Chains A and B, each alone.
Chain A
Amino acid sequence: MRSLKSRSIWLLVLLGVIFGGANLWLTASRSTIPLGLRGKVRQKQRLIEKTPGVDDVFIVTLDSDRRIQVDGSVFDLLVKDQTVIKARWERTMTIEDRGFPLSWSSDFYGMMWSMPLTVTVITWLGLVSLDRTRQTSDELSS
């Protein structure tokens, strides 16, 4: 029983690490800095979410059918039918032979601090749970 409980705790901590890491990656990728891009912009879509102007969703589709969600600042740079070229982790996006600097969003900066700290809280609670499991198990066996 103790082993099952410990495994459950570790699995929950692992899920916390995965979801925290995914948050970091998703917000980073929307700046397009980690992505490699090459192609013509076929379509730009601005979709309205719960709070218009705050959580709008910006979708760009390239001629290769690749559909990516980008930050508003990247969305504004891109123009339909223009060619975009960008290497992975490069902080400049080339649009029709002109270079445009890219920057991380405030979402990413927020996640960069909040996710490691959230994962720390999750890990701490996991360790407290493991300690209590051990204590409970010791009480039962004594």
Chain B
Amino acid sequence: MRTLSIAVLPTFVVSLLFYVLLGHRRDYLGHYAAGYGGTLSAISILFGAIPSKWFARIAPVVVLPSTLLCIAAGTVTEATVFRLAKFDEVDWCNQNLGAVLAGLAAICLVNNEKPSDVALRCLIATGAISLLVGAYFAFT
């Protein structure tokens, strides 16, 4: 429950800010949510692959590089497949804000013990849902 609240509450607040204060640009919320979801899912999958006995040692080391890698991957997709008119710097900043918040949520969850399989599946699902919400708001 604590795991889910750390993964969901902060991003819910930020999504609400985007929705209320930048409601005329739904694509901004879309990019933010997609950046958050993609990064959270990727880091959670990586956490799942780390053996329990090494988790406390390895997990804190992988969060920052994984977040930066997700930012790089987002940069490439924004510059290629999602480049419709031009590379939009505001879209890019919004998806990076999502990635940063996901990285912080993940690092907050890094403890002495590896999260349970159920908790990790919940995190992956939360990320996937956020990614889908992002796609919906970005393209509608």
Residues of A within 8 A of B (CB): 1, 4-5, 8-9, 11-13, 15-16, 19-20, 22-23, 26-27, 47-51, 54-57, 59, 69, 106-107, 110-111, 113-114, 117-118, 121-122, 124-126, 128-129, 132, 136, 139-140
Contact = CB atoms under 8 A, between A and B. Distances in A.
Q: Which 8 A-B pairs have the closest CB atoms?
A: A47-B85, A110-B22, A8-B64, A129-B108, A5-B60, A57-B85, A114-B21, A19-B93
Interface of B: 6, 10, 13-14, 17-18, 21-22, 24-27, 56-57, 60-61, 63-64, 67, 84-86, 88-90, 93-94, 96-97, 100-101, 103-105, 107-108, 110-112, 138-140
Given A4-B60, A12-B107, 4 more contacts: A19-B93, A69-B86, A114-B17, A125-B104
Nearest to A124: B10
Contact of B63 (A8, A48, A111, A125): A8
B101 A125 contact: yes
A19 B103 CA distance: 14
A136 B60 CA distance: 12
A114 B139 contact: no
Contacts of B61: 4
Q: Which of A5, A8, A107, A140 has the most chain B CB atoms inside 10 A of its CB?
A: A8
Nearest to A20: B97
15 contacts: A1-B60, A4-B61, A5-B110, A16-B100, A50-B84, A54-B25, A54-B27, A56-B85, A57-B85, A107-B22, A113-B17, A113-B21, A125-B104, A128-B108, A132-B111
Contact of A26 (B10, B89, B104): B89
Contacts of A124: 10
B25 A107 contact: yes
Contacts of A114: 17-18, 21-22
A50 B84 CA distance: 7
Nearest to A129: B108
Contacts of B27: 49-51, 54-55
Given A22-B89, A51-B27, A12 B22 contact: no
